[in-house]
């Protein structure tokens, strides 16, 4: 039966939770900026950046979900290719999470939004 180490599954679930937090934070920040300042030449690039952050975090979240499911559906064992893809997706999700967090914090700082 195809199984991963508990530590690997925990890493994936923790990353998914963090990505959900980034999605929520980017969305909330976008709403606050839009409501306070509207959509204009100054805010449009920031609003687009927040949308990009949200889309990238959503893509990473979905990829982790799909690959984890594929590993557990694999019988009798997951292929080395899918395991490598999962490993790469974890690394990419970690990078996406860090970049998303920094981007949202920068935007909040730029617009004095907490």
pLDDT at 99: 99
CA–CA separation, 61 vs 15, rounded Å?
Answer: 8
pLDDT at 78: 87
Q: How far apart are CA 33 and CA 8, in angstroms?
A: 37
pLDDT at 1: 57
Give the domains, in start order, of the chain with CATH numbers.
6-108 (1.20.58)
**pLDDT value, residue 2:** 72
pTM score: 0.93
Residue stretches of the chain with pLDDT short of 70: 1
């Amino acid at each position: 039966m195809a199984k991963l180490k508990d530590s690997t599954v925990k890493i994936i679930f923790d990353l998914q939770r963090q990505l959900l937090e980034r999605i929520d934070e980017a969305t909330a920040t976008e709403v606050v900026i839009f409501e306070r300042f509207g959509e204009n030449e100054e805010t449009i690039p920031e609003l687009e950046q927040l949308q990009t952050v949200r889309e990238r975090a959503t893509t990473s979240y979905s990829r982790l979900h799909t690959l984890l499911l594929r590993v557990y559906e694999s019988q009798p064992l997951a292929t080395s290719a899918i395991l490598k893809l999962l490993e790469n997706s974890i690394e990419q999700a970690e990078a996406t999470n860090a970049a998303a967090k920094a981007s949202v914090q920068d935007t909040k700082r730029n617009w004095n939004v907490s």
